[in-house]
Amino acid sequence: IKVMKALSDPNRVKIVKMLQYKTMCVCEMREALQVSQPSVSKNLKILEEAGLVEYNRDGLWVNYHLSDGRRSHYVASLLGHLRHWLENEPVVQDVVKKIPHIHREALCAK
């Protein structure tokens, strides 16, 4: 139920779709989604608690990436399907198009 609830929010689905393309920090996701930093952090916490997203620290950076799904077959199955689902959705395409133009060094230096 936690996994399904985590994916019930459009911004959380967009975060998952973005993380399919690259590991990202909160600043990068905030820029792509055009929402507040606390909003991104709250959504990441929900995704993390559901086992969909993990993070690691690299100096000052906190890098978020998709889970490998080892802890839950529900997570593994849904992430596998989501890799192919929603690719043609305009809202997903819009946010994914922004990824190559977002550079954490420039964002976090502000």
β-strand 61-66 against 53-58: which pairing, if any? antiparallel
DSSP secondary-structure letter at 52? S
Q: CA 47 to CA 6: how far, in whole Å?
A: 6
| Residue 110 pLDDT grade (very low, low, confident, very high; cuts 50, 70, 90) | low
Q: CA 90 to CA 100: how far, in whole Å?
A: 17
Residue 38 has pLDDT above 80, yes or no: yes
What pLDDT digit, counting tens, does each position of 10-29 carry?
999 999 999 999 999 999 99
CA dihedral 31, 35, 41, 47 (to 10 degrees): -100
